[in-house]
Amino acid sequence: MAVPQSTRLALFSAQPYDRRFFEEARAGLAQHGRASVDIVYHDTALDIGTAVLAQGCDAVCVFVNDVLDAAVLHKLHDAGVRAVLLRCAGFNNVDLGTLAGLGMFAARVPAYSPEAVAEHALAMILTLNRHTHRAWNRVREGNFALDGLLGFNLHGKTAGIVGTGKIGLATARILRGFGCRVLGHDPYPAPAFEELGSMVPLDDLLAESDIVSLHCPLMPATHHLINHATLGRMKQGAMLVNTSRGGLIDTTAVIGALKSRRLGALAIDVYEQESALFFRDHSSEIIADDVFGRLTTFPNVLITGHQGFFTIEALREIAAITFDNLECWRAGQPCAHLLPAA
């Protein structure tokens, strides 16, 4: 495969913070003896209509809600693109079969800061449990009443971690620090989990946990892992936390469980239909998504817009590893972060 010496990279879904950290890392390339990279930033997401913007570029850099299905990958390939650089860990938005068929290089950033996401999961658990978001609004209005702000001690509670990979482990460590009993479920359990808690079947984890936190990837096997049936197996009044991918949860079933009070609280940083909403300011528009609208009406639901990764340390690492991946492709070196074969 002919690889250019100086690379032209189209970066989609570019936000001001992407420009800041990618330009910072780009400025350091020469110091590290690396070839130069020209970056064309596109605010728009990558999809079939915008793929043409990559014309003349050797590589594209994409994020979680960019579309990399068969049609888009073919269009990118026709435009001359030979490398896909994901500046995220998840790759559920990529058609791996087409990618392999076209012989394109594709790499991701599998771990930039597991602690960033784990700490955000904890921030959501603490906020939702102690209602600090609602308390702040009350205090600003001179309302110092406590009724409605009652929480529970994390100490002594059981927390279930579904997916004991890098983020799951980091979350388990923090929860242990709070004095929680930690249960884990994972078809490929990490040995490091042994000193943090017990691995159990999913049904046992759901039945015993006061807090269930999802940290597994979205794949066909995990799509709607939390559904009507699994919600029915959860402990009455438990808290469900999802900082992984929206598709792990059947949102309509979750709304039903919140209405019936089987589910005690829900914290989500990700949402099934988030690509139409997240990472953009829609505050002056009418949001047409009624399922999302219903979620925002519950006092016991906390939503953030996919910001688990959003720390200085993580963004710096994402840019650095993306350039490492690009350099592997450019120099024809082995890359440890290739997407798996289809």
Residues in contact with ligand NAI by the rule CB under 6 A: 89-90, 111, 114, 117, 162-168, 185-188, 215-218, 221-222, 243-245, 269-270, 306, 308-309
- Whether 272 is catalytic is no
Instruction: Select 102 or 124, whichever has its Cβ closest to ligand NAI.
Output: 124
CB of 210 to ligand NAI, least distance (A): 19
CB of 67 to ligand NAI, least distance (A): 16
Instruction: Select 235 or 245, whichever has its Cβ closest to ligand NAI.
Output: 245
Judge contact between 44 and 72, C-beta under 8 A. no
Instruction: Select 7 or 222, whichever has its Cβ closest to ligand NAI.
Output: 222
Instruction: Select 152 or 279, whichever has its Cβ closest to ligand NAI.
Output: 279
- Whether 274 is catalytic is yes
Instruction: Select 7 or 65, whichever has its Cβ closest to ligand NAI.
Output: 65
Three state DSSP letters for the chain: CCCCCCEEEEECCCCHHHHHHHHHHHHCCHHHCCCCEEEEECCCCCCCCCHHHHCCCCEEEECCCCCECHHHHHHHHHCCCCEEEECCCCCCCECHHHHHHHCCEEECCCCCCHHHHHHHHHHHHHHHHHCHHHHHHHHHCCCCCCCCCCCCCCCCCEEEEECCCHHHHHHHHHHHHCCCEEEEECCCCCHHHHHCCEECCHHHHHHHCCEEEECCCCCCCCCCCECHHHHHCCCCCEEEEECCCHHHECHHHHHHHHHCCCEEEEEECCCCCHHHCCCCCCCCCCCCCHHHHHHCCCCCEEECCCCCCCCHHHHHHHHHHHHHHHHHHHHCCCCCCECCCC
Catalytic one of 108, 208, 272, 274: 274
Distance, in Å, from the CA atom of 218 to the CA atom of 132, rounded to the nearest integer, reads 30
CB of 117 to ligand NAI, least distance (A): 5
Residues 6+ apart with CB under 8 A from 269: 120, 121, 124, 242, 243, 303, 304, 305, 306, 307, 308
CB of 165 to ligand NAI, least distance (A): 2
Instruction: Select 90 or 101, whichever has its Cβ closest to ligand NAI.
Output: 90
Catalytic one of 245, 317, 327, 330: 245
Residue nearest to ligand NAI (CB): 165
CB of 161 to ligand NAI, least distance (A): 9
CB of 65 to ligand NAI, least distance (A): 12
Q: Would you please indicate which residues are annotated as catalytic (active-site) residues?
A: 245, 274
